[in-house]
Structure 1
């Protein structure tokens, strides 16, 4: 596996080693010992989640606050997404900055999103399956978020807004300047 830190401290792009032959491929999608050693972390993932979505579905930007903050290791099993992480940490040099990366079935790339980051993605292909590990359990009372079209963040979601499919909850999230900070 190769690991590259993004411009956002603590947020890493992870490329697993892919072993391919005439039968197909094999990857080790997660190895806790190697992961913690290479990132110099002590992460213990406790919950795995998976979603299936159609092209244009935008999920996010979400995060958990306080004792229920979550780090996530995200990847695409089938299809493709544009994945976005926003630094919500007040004491960070990159507070308010974001990165975006295409995660696809073909590239097998993963993104580690540390605690204190808002996270979201837009689906670029029909029947996309998105998988993520969390290092803390979900707690509804600790939910927070930022509206996808925040003018300060100015995220390029790559698809026309007319193609977006959002939940009612995601349509009423606050602007970045009014959102809870970590």
Structure 2
């Protein structure tokens, strides 16, 4: 496993060791001991799997209770994945990191607690899986609008993104972090 630093020190790109030949490949996608040594001490309690079509943008989501750290990866297709630091008092508060994750590059992204998270599907469709450090709490979930002018995220849009009603009604960054 190789860990790559990002512009936000707590957000990490993880490249697993991949062993392949003409038959296919093998890779270890998760190991507690290595993750704790190289990234952070965390316990994961929930795994999620979603499938989305091209042009779908999910996020930017966060919970004010049961805050979740997420280890995310793509098992089919490609997405542009974004993590936004919403930790008041952090030296990187309001900054974001964007990373291409795909079945081809097999990269993972560690998004710690205290970050809003979202992704945009670039391929025809994508399957996205992630491990969470706490349980989903619908009563504490919030969304920052994807095109917030304060954050100014440089999404690689192919067309106008398709959003859920929840994401369409996302609040601005300033409204969201001062709930």
TM-score range, shorter chain: over 0.9
Aligned Cα root-mean-square deviation (Å): 1.2
Tell me which residue corresponds to 2:148.
Answer: 150
Contact 1:76–1:108, Cα closer than 8 Å, also in 2? yes
Structural mapping, 1:113-152, within 5 Å: 113-152=111-150
Matched, 1:85 2:83: yes
Q: 1:69-109 CA deviation, whole Å, 9 max, x = no partner? A: 00000000000000000000011100000010100110000
Which residue of 68, 71, 84 maps to 1:70? 68
Distance in 2, matches of 1:94 and 1:4, equals 18
Task: Report if aligned partners of 1:54, 1:127 keep a CA contact under 8 Å in 2.
Answer: yes
CA distance in 1, matches of 2:176, 2:59: 13
* Conserved 8 A contact 1:78-1:105: yes
Instruction: Quote how far apart the aligned CAs of 1:160 are.
Output: 4.1
For the Cα contact (< 8 Å) 2:122–2:158, is it kept in 1?
Answer: no
Aligned counterpart, 2:36: 36
**From 164, 168, 172, the counterpart of 2:165:** 168
Is this contact kept in 1: 2:50–2:127, CA < 8 A? yes
The TM-score, its normalising length taken from structure 1, stands at 0.95
Paired position in structure 2 for 1:4: 4
For structure 2, the 5+ residue unaligned runs are: none
Cα distance in structure 2, aligned partners of 1:65 and 1:30: 27
1:127 shift after superposition? 2.5
Instruction: Name segments (4+ residues, structure 1) moved above 4 Å.
Output: none
What is the alpha-carbon distance in structure 2 between the residues aligned to residue 33 and residue 153 of structure 1?
35
Query: Is residue 27 of structure 1 aligned with residue 27 of structure 2?
Result: yes
Q: Counterparts of 1:27 and 1:134 in 2: how far apart (Å)?
A: 20
